[in-house]
């Protein structure tokens, strides 16, 4: 037996017991004739003591141990004279009686500490050492807990977890598929699923009633900081439900996770906001409502004052930052620089200071007198001491820029505390999204999303105003998941394909199996999917999903630890009937 206890387990009550521990050498300290070694495992750290006067040979061996050596020690638990209140085992130490080196270790290329000296690249190359660090491993432990609690809740609610295949067919619509050449079917390819969307709808046709799966999904996209080629979804679908049923059930799931993983109780119903209001008041379909600072539309109020920037703009809007009227020239310049950054894209920033003495000053005093400014300030319910920030231009771009400015002000004012969680349902998404480049409508969610029954009448005449029974779960400005009620009527589905520019043949080729299935009695159904990686990141307070994934890939889609992808043998290519032909 390698151990009687873990390194996080012993307490004062164990004093006097003879124990055996196994683990890694975290730290060695020599003090006089004593050698102190911290031994570490997943569960904690325990202090070992080797006394030169009692056993010189043993102490010598201990002195030769290097960092990260794997050792086994037997000894007696004793009360520490110099207690360490920072760790749970800090009241005791082990008076070592024997030492067994289970494995030696080369010195790691970075320190195994919460604040390591290792950069990103080296940590990824030696990910197995990086994962020894508590701060990294604790994210994976959190992930385990969240997945487990998700399953516990959904099982209680009668959901069945069904594994859908990873080797499926390619559907060129949407993002790029990863494909897998088939040796047994020469010239043909499987595709890895971008999501189990169509398969879960088939399970509804099969009468599974309540399905879920914590499912690996794959997208061959050019990667951004917060994207991975493989990612994990909590994928769910229910039959005989309306939107309200889905929202209530999954609000329950989110509350369950907050309660059992974060020990946070949400007794109230989550607020809901229409997509239209989210765009109008926050310039985003995933507003961070930890703080107010809503947009105020000013076009009408500011027009007709010969200020050509405002007069020529399709949209003028602003926010009111409480207590910021004393912002210096420098601070205001910083904000101007911020909004002018290419990724924000505003042309400039107009401010109005509602000073604490009641006076109003602005960067556009030439065009607006004190009363004008007062009238504008009134639209914000601004108080003395507040700062109003205004952007103008194209509507969509300006709202987006104003959204970024709002979040920046939220950061500056400390209104975005990572330990405060503010969930929100965003509902009533538009069914279609107009694409200027392609000059046609695309499905905002996917082509199976059901329009709201009362809006079906506008499908032909005004597709842009048709709202969908679609919804997103947003927490702190992060979209955790989303879904919709699906179309279960094949006539309406055909209509949708038509509006989306599918010929009947193309629709049949791509979604034939689903459309055929629907002819055999599809129940009304709907569902949603949560991004598990983002959900864990949110709970862990991480900025990137990468640190809640055991073995993530870098921005080039490479696993630098495994050195994958890599070339394969010619014989493998031959068997797959493939030739590589790299164009320059």
Find the binding residues for its own copies in span 96-135 (CB under 8 A). Answer: 102-106, 108, 126-129, 131-132
Query: Nearer to its own copies by C-beta: 26 or 362?
Result: 26
344 scored as a contact of its own copies (CB under 8 A): no
Query: Nearer to its own copies by C-beta: 130 or 404?
Result: 130
The H-assigned helical ranges of 241-369 are 243-262, 275-282, 299-302, 308-311, 329-340
417: phi then psi, degrees, rounded to nearest 5: -65, 125
Query: Nearer to its own copies by C-beta: 161 or 226?
Result: 161
CA distance 582 to 574: 17
How many residues appear in the chain?
584
CB of 487 to its own copies, least distance (A): 11
Contact residue for its own copies among 323, 420, 434, 513 (CB under 8 A):
513
Cα–Cα distance list, 201 to 154, 207, 449, 488, 525 (Å): 18, 10, 12, 9, 8
Contact residue for its own copies among 42, 418, 440, 465 (CB under 8 A):
42
- Site residues for its own copies, 245-284, by CB under 8 A, read 245
CA distance 584 to 581: 10
CB of 372 to its own copies, least distance (A): 53
Cα–Cα distance list, 368 to 311, 360, 362 (Å): 13, 10, 8
Number of residues that bind its own copies (CB under 8 A): 124
Q: Residue 89 corresponds to which tokens in the numbers above? A: 């085992």
CA distance 246 to 6: 44
CB of 439 to its own copies, least distance (A): 21
Q: Which residues contact 455 (CB under 8 A, 6 or more apart)?
A: 431, 465, 466, 467
By the 8 A CB rule, do 153 and 253 touch?
yes
Query: Nearer to its own copies by C-beta: 284 or 510?
Result: 510
Q: Residue 91 corresponds to which tokens in the numbers above? A: 């009241």
242 scored as a contact of its own copies (CB under 8 A): yes
Give me the residue label for tokens 């009937």: 577
Query: Nearer to its own copies by C-beta: 116 or 399?
Result: 116
Query: Nearer to its own copies by C-beta: 202 or 376?
Result: 202
Contact residue for its own copies among 17, 170, 336, 508 (CB under 8 A):
170
User: Beta-strand (E) ranges in 188-227?
Assistant: 189-191, 210-218
User: Beta-strand (E) ranges in 398-510?
Assistant: 423-427, 432-435, 440-443, 470-475, 478-485
Query: Nearer to its own copies by C-beta: 54 or 456?
Result: 456
Radius of gyration of the chain (CA): 30
3-state secondary structure of 219: coil
Q: What is the DSSP letter of 522?
A: P
Query: Nearer to its own copies by C-beta: 303 or 572?
Result: 572
CA 25 to chain centre: 35
Contact residue for its own copies among 18, 98, 185, 370 (CB under 8 A):
185
Contact residue for its own copies among 141, 175, 314, 378 (CB under 8 A):
141
CB of 555 to its own copies, least distance (A): 9
166 scored as a contact of its own copies (CB under 8 A): yes
Contact residue for its own copies among 88, 174, 181, 385 (CB under 8 A):
181
By the 8 A CB rule, do 211 and 203 touch?
yes
Query: Nearer to its own copies by C-beta: 212 or 307?
Result: 212
> Which residues are paired to 529 by β-bridges?
235, 482
CA distance 288 to 406: 10
Query: Nearer to its own copies by C-beta: 228 or 449?
Result: 228
CA distance 283 to 426: 13
The H-assigned helical ranges of 415-460 are none
CB of 190 to its own copies, least distance (A): 5
CB of 271 to its own copies, least distance (A): 23
CB atoms within 10 A of CB 571: 8
| Residues 537-576 as x/- pattern, contact with its own copies by CB under 8 A | ------------xxx-x--xxxx-xxxxxxxxx--x-xxx
175 scored as a contact of its own copies (CB under 8 A): no
By the 8 A CB rule, do 523 and 558 touch?
no
- Site residues for its own copies, 18-37, by CB under 8 A, read 22-24
534 scored as a contact of its own copies (CB under 8 A): no
| Residues 193-212 as x/- pattern, contact with its own copies by CB under 8 A | ------x--xx-xxxxxx--
CB under 8 A: which stretch of 88-96, 148-156, 303-311, 392-400 binds its own copies? 148-156
Q: Which residues contact 574 (CB under 8 A, 6 or more apart)?
A: none
Contact residue for its own copies among 16, 32, 119, 187 (CB under 8 A):
187
- Site residues for its own copies, 66-85, by CB under 8 A, read 68-70
- Site residues for its own copies, 448-507, by CB under 8 A, read 488-489
378 scored as a contact of its own copies (CB under 8 A): no
191 scored as a contact of its own copies (CB under 8 A): yes
CB under 8 A: which stretch of 161-169, 319-327, 404-412, 497-505 binds its own copies? 161-169
By the 8 A CB rule, do 265 and 417 touch?
no
323 scored as a contact of its own copies (CB under 8 A): no
Contact residue for its own copies among 180, 309, 444, 515 (CB under 8 A):
180
């Amino acid at each position: 037996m390698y151990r009687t206890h873990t390194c996080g387990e012993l307490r004062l009550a164990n004093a006097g017991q003879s124990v055996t521990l196994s683990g890694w050498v975290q730290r060695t300290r020599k003090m006089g004739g004593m050698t102190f070694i911290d031994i570490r495992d997943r569960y904690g750290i325990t202090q070992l003591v080797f006394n030169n006067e009692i056993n010189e040979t043993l102490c010598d061996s201990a002195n030769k141990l290097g960092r990260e050596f794997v050792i086994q020690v037997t000894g007696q638990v004793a009360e520490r004279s110099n207690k360490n209140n920072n760790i749970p085992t800090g009241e005791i130490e082990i008076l070592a009686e024997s030492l067994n080196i289970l494995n030696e270790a080369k010195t790691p290329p970075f320190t195994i500490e919460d604040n390591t000296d290792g950069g990103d690249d080296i940590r990824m190359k030696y990910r197995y050492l990086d994962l020894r660090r508590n701060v990294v491993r604790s994210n994976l432990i959190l992930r385990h807990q969240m997945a487990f609690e998700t399953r516990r809740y959904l099982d209680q609610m009668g959901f069945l977890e069904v594994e859908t295949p990873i080797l499926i067919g390619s559907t060129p619509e949407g993002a790029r598929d990863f494909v897998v050449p088939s040796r047994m079917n020469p010239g043909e390819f499987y595709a890895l699923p971008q999501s189990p969307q169509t398969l879960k709808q088939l399970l509804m046709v099969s009468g599974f009633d309540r399905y879920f799966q914590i499912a690996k999904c794959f997208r061959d996209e050019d990667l951004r900081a917060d994207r991975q080629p493989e990612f994990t979804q909590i994928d769910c679908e229910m039959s005989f439900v309306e939107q309200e049923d889905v929202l209530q059930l999954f609000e329950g799931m989110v509350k369950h996770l907050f309660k059992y993983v974060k020990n946070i109780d949400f007794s109230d119903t989550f607020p809901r906001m229409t997509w239209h209001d989210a765009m109008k008041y926050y310039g985003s379909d995933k507003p961070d409502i930890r703080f107010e600072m809503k947009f105020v539309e000013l076009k009408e109020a500011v027009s007709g004052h010969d200020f050509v920037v405002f007069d020529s703009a399709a949209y003028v809007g602003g926010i009111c930052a409480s207590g910021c009227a004393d912002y210096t020239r420098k601070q205001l310049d910083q904000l101007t620089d911020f909004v002018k950054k290419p990724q924000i894209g505003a042309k400039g920033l107009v401010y109005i200071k509602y000073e604490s003495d009641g006076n109003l000053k602005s960067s556009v005093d030439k065009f607006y007198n004190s009363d004008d400014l007062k009238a504008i300030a009134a639209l914000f319910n601004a108080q003395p001491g507040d700062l109003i920030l205004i952007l103008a231009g194209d509507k969509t771009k300006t709202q987006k820029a104003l959204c970024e400015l709002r979040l920046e002000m939220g950061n500056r004012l400390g209104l975005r505390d990572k330990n405060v969680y503010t969930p929100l349902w965003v509902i009533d998404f538009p069914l279609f999204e107009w694409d200027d480049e392609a000059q046609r409508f695309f499905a905002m969610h996917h082509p199976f999303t059901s329009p709201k029954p009362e809006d079906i009448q506008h499908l032909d005449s005004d597709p842009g105003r048709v709202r969908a029974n679609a919804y997103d779960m947003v927490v702190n400005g992060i979209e955790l998941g989303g879904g919709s009620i699906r179309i279960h009527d094949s006539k309406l589905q055909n209509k949708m394909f038509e509006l989306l520019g599918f010929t009947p043949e193309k629709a049949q080729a791509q979604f034939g199996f689903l459309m055929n299935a629907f002819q055999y009695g599809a129940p009304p159904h709907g569902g949603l999917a949560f991004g598990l990686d983002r959900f864990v990141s949110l709970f862990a307070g991480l900025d990137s999903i990468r640190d809640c994934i055991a073995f993530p890939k870098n921005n080039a889609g490479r696993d630098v630890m495994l050195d994958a992808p890599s070339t394969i043998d010619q014989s493998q290519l031959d068997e797959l009937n493939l030739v590589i032909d790299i164009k320059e």
